[in-house]
Amino acid sequence: MRAALLGLMACSMLAPAAWGAEQDYSLIERGRYLATIGDCTACHTAPGGKLMAGGRAIETPFGNIVAPNITPDRETGIGAWSDDAFYASMHDGKTARGENLYPAMPYPYFTKTRRDDVMAIRAWLNTLEPVVNRVDANQLPFPFSIRAAMTGWNALFFQAGEWQDDTQKSAEWNRGGYLVEGLAHCGACHNAKNALGGDESGSRLQGFALQGWFAPAITSGNGVGLDKWTVDDIVEYLKTGTNRFATAAGPMAEAVSDSTQHISLADLRAMAVYLKDQKGPAAEKRQAMAASDPVMQAGEAIYVDKCAACHTMNGAGIARLFPTLSASPSVEARDPLSVLHVILNGTRAAHTPYAPTSPAMPAFGWELTDVQVAAVATYVRNAWGNAAAPVTAGDVSSVRKNLAARRE
């Protein structure tokens, strides 16, 4: 029966009334859409595994936590949970037994989601195939393995509460804020975190290093973050994974592939309108390094030899194929982690039907020394109007170690 239901859902040609009340269908469809915005599958589905049957190990400052089975199986999933218990997991970060969840589950953001939306997600989850799969979520070392320890964390860093509309702002702005700050949990990666993984107060959306990448500031104004991006630029990036400024790599490529490309244009617009209205602190004024600097000269020589064929001599790149390095905020980001990650390991862009060719950036870690990578990174961060702190060979060496430690 459930399998049949799934089959029906996959086939949008069938009239909703095919199996029941129209209202149920729209509730379930809405839940499916909202679960995509929440990107539940990114964590709760293992690579190659059954949908939501328990998934990936999530890195936390304390150790790894595996996302549990949230299929409707009554024994090993959440089939036996009451609606209140499900709401409490999203709103308060609690298990059905009232214990604390770890914030590897993004409840500090999901708490903003209205109860009717949470219930729609539940209605959709209830239609999934129940999978028997017992997941031992908690793989943390003592004392972090004790869930009660999170009571202190919550007291310090967590405030439960649904999104409250700001009546001074438009309905579109409020819809965008509701999604960005809540279900879409953009801050899980883009908010600066303290050593315990809590959000630093006052640095919302201002950028943070995670999983070997730097998620740059996505505030706007003061010459920082998305200042030069229009609403349309932001929508295009989230829908296709690329635009005239940047191409999403690493965790953002996954976020685009799993989640944002499936968000409606109206909702993406709302998110972009909200982001364009978030101000971060002014950028520290930097002077570009002089072109005559020996490091810049060494970097330019490597660039001409290894990079210019794709990114072009003036760093402008080729639209939709090779990203610009001259107008990319992530190239100039205060932390060069993503730039170094891309140069050392290469990367592949997001898969979306809009940008299906997904060109790849080759890895250079094997052929360039730390000094050479530092020089070419310093060059791209200071050529063509860019201005950012130089990169040292020591920086490159520590990023190499960071990346090697992540390789299975």
The span from the CA of 366 to the CA of 2, in Å, is 50
R_g (Cα) of the chain, nearest Å = 22
**Residues in region 69-88 near ligand HEC by CB under 6 A:** 70, 78, 86
**Residues in region 149-178 near ligand HEC by CB under 6 A:** none
Cα distance between the two ends of the chain: 39
Query: What is the largest distance, in Å, between two alpha-carbon atoms of the chain?
Result: 73
Nearest to 186 by CA among 125, 291, 243, 106: 106
Rounded to a whole number of angstroms, the minimum distance from the CB of residue 350 to ligand HEC is: 8
Rounded to a whole number of angstroms, the minimum distance from the CB of residue 191 to ligand HEC is: 10
Total H helices, total E strands in the chain: 17, 8
Rounded to a whole number of angstroms, the minimum distance from the CB of residue 364 to ligand HEC is: 5
Cβ closest to ligand HEC, residue 22 vs residue 115? 115
Q: How many residues bind ligand HEC (CB under 6 A)?
A: 75
**Residues in region 199-258 near ligand HEC by CB under 6 A:** 213, 215-216, 218, 226, 234, 237-238, 246-252, 255
The span from the CA of 159 to the CA of 91, in Å, is 10
The span from the CA of 42 to the CA of 184, in Å, is 12
Q: Which range of residues in 1-9, 181-189, 193-201, 393-401 is near ligand HEC by CB under 6 A?
A: 181-189
**Residues in region 274-303 near ligand HEC by CB under 6 A:** none
**Residues in region 303-362 near ligand HEC by CB under 6 A:** 306-307, 309-311, 322-323, 325, 328-331, 338-339, 342-343, 347-349, 359-362
**Residues in region 90-149 near ligand HEC by CB under 6 A:** 95, 101-102, 104-106, 121, 137-138
The span from the CA of 172 to the CA of 315, in Å, is 36
Q: How far is CA 83 from CA 150, 245, 375, 392, in A?
A: 23, 44, 57, 54
Cβ closest to ligand HEC, residue 114 vs residue 306? 306
β-strand partners of 348: 360
CA-CA-CA-CA torsion sign (223, 324, 399, 392): negative
Rounded to a whole number of angstroms, the minimum distance from the CB of residue 106 to ligand HEC is: 5
Rounded to a whole number of angstroms, the minimum distance from the CB of residue 90 to ligand HEC is: 6
Cβ closest to ligand HEC, residue 104 vs residue 295? 104
The span from the CA of 92 to the CA of 108, in Å, is 8
Q: Which range of residues in 7-15, 167-175, 184-192, 383-391 is near ligand HEC by CB under 6 A?
A: 184-192
